[in-house]
């Protein structure tokens, strides 16, 4: 196999087989025997071998071709992952360079303060312009105050630089883990975006958006969050950047975006668990529900079937600060089919929780268009 666990070219595989056979003949140890078996598997999974086999055993050739294609796509997926991670490392390295520059500038300012106070002390001792004890004392007090502020700034910058290095190490560790996973034929994981501490939260998100019996919007192609992130990396070439303009062009509500978050668009199929009030009849019956004691009430409407979509939204936060996320360069907030619409949550509906009303009556509680959750009629 190549270094990513994908198939080798014929010439490399042949050379490896010749070498492995020679080593096994010289020293038939279990390790050399395993290496020989692997080399034999490698040469079988080459275009040349499969092409020759088509003439004598087309069925076996077809099976090998499918295995070859899977391993090749797996290797390509890892290369995409590594390329995307490299872009993130480039961004972090730029942040680290800026931070280290700020540290040097702060140290220069501290040195200037120290140099100035040395001059004040010398001048005071020699009867110069700072010979007045009160003036010299004021300068010393200013020095203490100024250097304390600069030292605090320096410590904050040092902490920031250390955190950036930890984030870079998180990516390097994830790269190593995914290389091992790739060689073992396992799916890749985006652990640098999904901290282990929040595994329960991500599991809840997957139950909400990947389960066939979920009441919300659900993915119908991608099976989990890792697959959605892999699709985004494949389509966009990177998980860096922001696609909010594209999402707005596809109908997203501009006011639903937060300045500190990034929004990526992914082409994948799903069903929408929401609908806009403007798309419904005024006489449509809606039910007011409150999903939890702290949640704002919203409107739910029954539909014959949920609308389908061919794209989804991924929400990320760079340089998160939640406990357990500090060492991660970015945090996956959520991913859902379609895009975000105008909020449908409204505390003015609290007195009506559990009741049914027409959409026309519900609209009185909103200043404009709003989103309703949908449930399929039983």
- Exposure class string for 296-316: b at 16+ Cβ within 10 A, else e: ebbbbbebeebbebebbbbbb
**15: Cβ contacts below 8 Å, ≥ 6 apart:** none
- Stretch 86-96: mean pLDDT, rounded? 91
* Confidence band for 3, pLDDT divided at 50, 70 and 90: low
Element (H, E) at 299: strand 298-303
Position 35 in a domain: no
244 and 154 in a single domain? The answer is: no
Q: Which residues, listed in sequence order, are joined to residue 90 by a DSSP beta bridge?
A: none
136 and 238 in a single domain? The answer is: no
Question: Is pLDDT of 241 > 80?
Answer: yes
Question: Is pLDDT of 259 > 80?
Answer: yes
pTM reported for the whole predicted model: 0.74
Cα–Cα distance measured from residue 366 to residue 351, given in angstroms and rounded to the nearest whole number: 15
Final residue of a structural domain among 183, 209, 237: 183
3-state SS record for 70-139: HHHHHHHHHHHHHHHHHHHHHHHHHHHHHHHHHHHHHHHHHHHHHHHHHHHHHHHHCCCCCCCHHHHHHH
Q: What is the pLDDT of residues 142-160, one digit of tens each?
A: 888 888 999 999 999 999 9
Final residue of a structural domain among 121, 156, 183: 183
Position 163 in a domain: yes
- Structural domain boundaries enclosing 316: 196-376
Question: Is pLDDT of 349 > 60?
Answer: yes
Q: What angle do CA 43, 30, 71 make, to 5 degrees?
A: 30
Question: Is pLDDT of 264 > 50?
Answer: yes
179 and 200 in a single domain? The answer is: no
Question: Is pLDDT of 7 > 50?
Answer: yes
Final residue of a structural domain among 183, 215, 244: 183
299 and 354 in a single domain? The answer is: yes
What's the domain count of the chain?
A: 2
Q: What is the pLDDT of residues 18-41, one digit of tens each?
A: 888 999 899 999 998 888 888 888
Please indicate whether residue 9 or residue 218 has the higher confidence score (pLDDT): 218
Question: Is pLDDT of 179 > 90?
Answer: no
Q: What is the pLDDT of residues 291-328, one digit of tens each?
A: 777 788 999 998 888 899 999 999 999 999 899 899 99
Position 75 in a domain: no
Position 1 in a domain: no
Question: Is pLDDT of 352 > 90?
Answer: yes
| Alpha-carbon distances, residue 286 vs 29, 150, 165, 280, 301 (angstroms) | 74, 60, 52, 11, 5
Position 46 in a domain: no
173 and 235 in a single domain? The answer is: no
* Confidence band for 339, pLDDT divided at 50, 70 and 90: very high
Q: What is the pLDDT of residues 195-227, one digit of tens each?
A: 999 999 999 999 889 987 766 789 999 999 999
Q: What is the pLDDT of residues 112-123, one digit of tens each?
A: 988 888 887 887
214 and 170 in a single domain? The answer is: no
Closest of 262, 266, 264, 269 to residue 235, by C-alpha: 266
pLDDT of residue 228: 96
239 and 359 in a single domain? The answer is: yes
Q: What angle do CA 301, 312, 346 make, to 5 degrees?
A: 40
| Alpha-carbon distances, residue 191 vs 40, 84, 315, 338 (angstroms) | 34, 13, 16, 24
Position 47 in a domain: no
**77: Cβ contacts below 8 Å, ≥ 6 apart:** 182, 188, 230, 234
247 and 132 in a single domain? The answer is: no
* Confidence band for 135, pLDDT divided at 50, 70 and 90: confident
Position 203 in a domain: yes
pLDDT of residue 5: 62
243 and 354 in a single domain? The answer is: yes
Position 57 in a domain: no
Q: What is the CA radius of gyration of the chain?
A: 31
204 and 293 in a single domain? The answer is: yes
263 and 348 in a single domain? The answer is: yes
295 and 353 in a single domain? The answer is: yes
In CATH, what number is assigned to the domain containing residue 170? 1.10.287
């Amino acid at each position: 196999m190549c270094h990513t666990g994908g198939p080798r070219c014929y010439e490399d595989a042949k050379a490896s087989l010749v070498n492995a056979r020679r080593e096994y003949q010289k020293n038939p140890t279990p390790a050399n025997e395993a290496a020989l078996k692997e080399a034999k598997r490698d040469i079988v999974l080459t275009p040349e071998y499969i092409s020759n086999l088509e003439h004598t055993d087309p069925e076996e050739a077809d099976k090998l071709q499918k295995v070859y294609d899977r391993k090749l796509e797996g290797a390509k997926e890892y290369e995409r992952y590594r390329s995307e991670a490299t872009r993130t490392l480039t961004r972090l390295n730029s942040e680290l360079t800026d931070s280290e520059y700020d540290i040097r500038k702060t140290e220069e300012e501290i040195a200037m303060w120290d140099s100035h106070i040395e001059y004040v002390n010398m001048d005071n001792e020699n009867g110069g312009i700072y010979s007045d004890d009160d003036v010299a004392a004021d300068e010393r007090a200013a020095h203490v105050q100024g250097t304390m502020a600069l030292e605090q700034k320096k410590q904050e910058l040092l902490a920031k630089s250390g955190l950036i290095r930890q984030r870079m190490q998180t990516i390097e560790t994830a790269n190593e883990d995914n290389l091992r996973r790739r060689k073992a034929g396992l799916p890749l994981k985006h652990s640098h975006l999904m901290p282990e501490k929040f595994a329960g939260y991500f599991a809840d998100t997957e139950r909400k958006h990947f389960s066939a019996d979920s009441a919300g919007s659900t993915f119908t192609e991608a099976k989990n969050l890792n697959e959605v992130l892999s699709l985004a990396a494949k389509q966009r070439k990177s998980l860096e950047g922001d696609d909010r303009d594209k999402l707005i062009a596809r109908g997203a509500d501009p006011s639903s975006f937060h300045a500190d978050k990034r929004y990526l668009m992914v082409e994948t199929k799903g069903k929408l668990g929401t609908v806009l009030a403007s798309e419904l009849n005024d006489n449509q019956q809606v039910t007011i529900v409150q999903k939890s004691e702290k949640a704002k009430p919203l409107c739910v409407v029954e539909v014959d079937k949920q609308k389908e979509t061919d794209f989804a939204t991924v929400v990320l936060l760079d340089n998160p600060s939640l406990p357990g996320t500090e060492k991660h360069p970015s945090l996956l907030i959520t991913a859902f089919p379609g895009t975000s619409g105008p909020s449908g949550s409204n505390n003015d509906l609290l007195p009506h929780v559990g009741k049914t009303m027409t959409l026309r009556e519900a609209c009185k509680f909103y200043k404009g268009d709003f989103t309703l959750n949908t449930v399929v009629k039983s």
